[in-house]
A and B are shown apart, each in its own frame.
Chain A
Amino acid sequence: MNWLTNAVLPKIQALVGREMPDNLWHKCPACGQMIFHADLATNHRVCSECDHHMRLPPMERLKLLFDGGLVEPIELGKPAIDPLKFRDRKRYSDRLREAQSKTGRNDAIVVAHGTIEGNAAVVAAFDFDFMGGSMGSSVGEGLVRAAKLAETQDAALIIVPSSGGARMQEGILSLMQMPRTVAAVERFKETGRPFVVLLTDPTTGGVTASFAMLGDLHISEPGAIIGFAGQRVIQETIREQLPEGFQKAEYLLEHGMVDAVVHRHKLKQTLGGLLGLLMDPEPKADVVKLDPASETPASKPVEANASAPMSSADRVEQNEASKKSKA
Chain B
Amino acid sequence: MRHFLDFEKPIADLEGKIEELRHLTGSDELNIDEEVEKLQIKMERQLRATYQKLTAWQKVQVARHPDRPHANAVIDHLIDDFNPLAGDRGFAEDLAMVGGIGRFRGRSVVVIGTEKGATTADRVKRNFGMARPEGYRKARRLMEMADRFKLPILTFVDTAGAYPGVDAEARGQAEAIAKAIETCLNVRVPLIASIIGEGGSGGAVAIAAGNRVLMFEHAVYSVISPEGCASILWRSAEFAKDAAEALKITAQDLQKLGVIDRIVPEPVGGAHRDRTTALDALGDAISEELGALASTEGGQLRAERRDKFLEMGAA
Which residues of A pack against B, CB within 8 Å? 189, 192, 194, 213, 216-218, 253-260, 270, 273-274, 277-278, 280-284, 287, 307-310, 315, 318-319, 322, 325-326
Is B309 an interface residue when CB atoms closer than 8 A count as contact? no
Residues of B contacting A307 in the complex (Cβ-Cβ under 8 angstroms): 294-295
Q: How far is the CA of A281 from the CA of B89 in the complex (A)?
A: 25
Given A270-B83, A283-B103, 19 additional A-B pairs, CB 8 A: A189-B148, A192-B148, A213-B89, A217-B85, A256-B86, A256-B90, A256-B94, A258-B86, A260-B85, A277-B108, A278-B108, A278-B149, A281-B151, A282-B106, A282-B108, A309-B291, A309-B295, A319-B283, A322-B105
Residues of A contacting B91 in the complex (Cβ-Cβ under 8 angstroms): 255-256
Q: Which listed residue (A256, A281, A322) contacts B92, Cβ 8 A?
A: A256
How many residues of B are in contact with the other chain, CB < 8 A? 35
Q: How far is the CA of A326 from the CA of B294 in the complex (A)?
A: 25
Residues of B contacting A287 in the complex (Cβ-Cβ under 8 angstroms): 106
Is B158 an interface residue when CB atoms closer than 8 A count as contact? no
Q: How far is the CA of A218 from the CA of B93 in the complex (A)?
A: 13
Q: Let me know if B105 and A256 touch, CB within 8 A.
A: no
Closest chain A residue to B294, Cβ basis? A309
Chain B 66-86 interface 0/1 with A at a Cβ cutoff of 8 Å (1 = within) = 000000000000001101111
Interface residues of B in 260-315 (CB under 8 A from A): 283-284, 287, 291-292, 294-295
Q: Let me know if A325 and B80 touch, CB within 8 A.
A: yes
Closest chain-B Cβ to A141's Cβ sits at a distance in Å of: 27
Q: Which of B81, B86, B102, B103 has most A Cβ within 10 Å?
A: B86
Is B226 an interface residue when CB atoms closer than 8 A count as contact? no
Residues of A contacting B283 in the complex (Cβ-Cβ under 8 angstroms): 319
| Minimum-distance CB pairs A-B, first 8 | A283-B106, A309-B291, A256-B87, A281-B108, A259-B85, A256-B88, A277-B108, A256-B92
Given A216-B148, A322-B103, A277 and B81 touching (CB < 8 A)? Answer: yes
Q: Let me know if A277 and B83 touch, CB within 8 A.
A: yes
Closest chain A residue to B102, Cβ basis? A277
Which residues of B pack against A, CB within 8 Å? 80-81, 83-94, 101-103, 105-108, 134, 138, 145, 148-151, 283-284, 287, 291-292, 294-295
Q: How many A-B residue pairs have CB under 8 A?
A: 97
Closest chain-A Cβ to B132's Cβ sits at a distance in Å of: 11
Residues of A contacting B86 in the complex (Cβ-Cβ under 8 angstroms): 253, 256, 258-260
Q: Let me know if B105 and A309 touch, CB within 8 A.
A: no
Q: Let me know if A277 and B105 touch, CB within 8 A.
A: no
Q: How far is the CA of A283 from the CA of B103 in the complex (A)?
A: 8
Q: Which of B103, B106, B134, B292 has most A Cβ within 10 Å?
A: B106
Residues of A contacting B151 in the complex (Cβ-Cβ under 8 angstroms): 278, 281
Q: How far is the CA of A230 from the CA of B7 in the complex (A)?
A: 61
Residues of A contacting B287 in the complex (Cβ-Cβ under 8 angstroms): 310, 315
Q: Let me know if A273 and B89 touch, CB within 8 A.
A: no
Closest chain-B Cβ to A314's Cβ sits at a distance in Å of: 9
Residues of A contacting B90 in the complex (Cβ-Cβ under 8 angstroms): 256
Closest chain-B Cβ to A158's Cβ sits at a distance in Å of: 16
Q: How far is the CA of A254 from the CA of B84 in the complex (A)?
A: 14
Closest chain B residue to A214, Cβ basis? B89
Q: Which listed residue (A192, A310, A322) contacts B80, Cβ 8 A?
A: A322
Q: How far is the CA of A257 from the CA of B141 in the complex (A)?
A: 12
